[in-house]
Amino acid sequence: MIGTVISKNEKEIRLTAERWSHIVESHDYMAGNQDIIFETLDDPDTIVGGKRNEFIAIKHYNKTSISEKHAVVIYKERENDGFGITAFMTSKPEKIIKKGGLWKK
């Protein structure tokens, strides 16, 4: 277990070592950016619903390890808890946001 954070729906979302390995293997620029994942889950700008009942938290960062970007964290909530699925950064969040927001800051 890497850590946990409380979502806007008050569920404890965990990030496991297995999921962190998946994130870094898929998006090597995410190495060293665990704090961005937890901040995005804790204080997102927008939350969008995914195709498979997952949530997509998005947060803008003026400066990241690769430039100005939006962090995107995909996670699942269950009855009492939840878990991170993947995370990445994008410069085009509108492609995700157009799916329909569930929550906005």
Cβ contact 83:13 at 8 Å: yes
Domain spans of the chain, in order of start: 3-98
Label the pairing between strands 46-49 and 101-104: antiparallel
Which pLDDT does position 100 carry in this prediction? 74
Q: What is the pLDDT of residues 51-103, one digit of tens each?
A: 889 999 999 999 998 999 999 999 999 999 999 999 999 999 999 988 777 77
pTM given for the model: 0.93
Closest CA to 5 of 87, 100, 65: 87
Which pLDDT does position 104 carry in this prediction? 79
Is 48's pLDDT higher than 80?
yes
Which pLDDT does position 77 carry in this prediction? 97
Helix (H, G, I), strand (E, B) or coil at 27: coil
